[in-house]
A = this chain, B = another copy of it.
Amino acid sequence: MTIKCTTAIGIAVLVLGLPLSLQAQDKAPERWLPNLITETPQEGFELAVKLSRMGVKSTQPDKEVLFRERAKYAQNGEALMHASEVVAIHFQTVAAANSYWK
């Protein structure tokens, strides 16, 4: 574990320390959030799920680590509820942006 850990730190420092241009393949200038308006509440909910995932990705852009960790917390009730909480917070924002689809 110590070796793995040290490597992890090494990679993370690299990722965090690199100029954004070098991290481009993962989280780059790609336009993923044109606006917060959706047709229906359900699409708004899906956008909230997406925002929640992009929040995770902003801290850990490495897809392999993301998949490994998502696999773990997808098997854990408490973690799933935490994911649901973040979706709920984003859904507040999206719903307000859409004037609650009224």
Contact = CB atoms under 8 A, between A and B. Distances in A.
Nearest to A74: B60
Interface string A63-98: 001111111111111111111111111111101110
A11, A53, A79, A83: which has the most chain B beta carbons within 10 Å? A83
The majority secondary structure among interface residues of chain A is helix
A36 B100 CA distance: 7
Interface in A8-55: 8-9, 11-13, 15-17, 31-37, 40-42, 45-46, 49, 51-55
A81 B78 contact: no
Contact of A71 (B16, B46, B71, B80): B16
A59 interface: yes
B95 A102 contact: no
Nearest to A59: B83
A58 interface: yes
A84 to B, nearest CB: 3
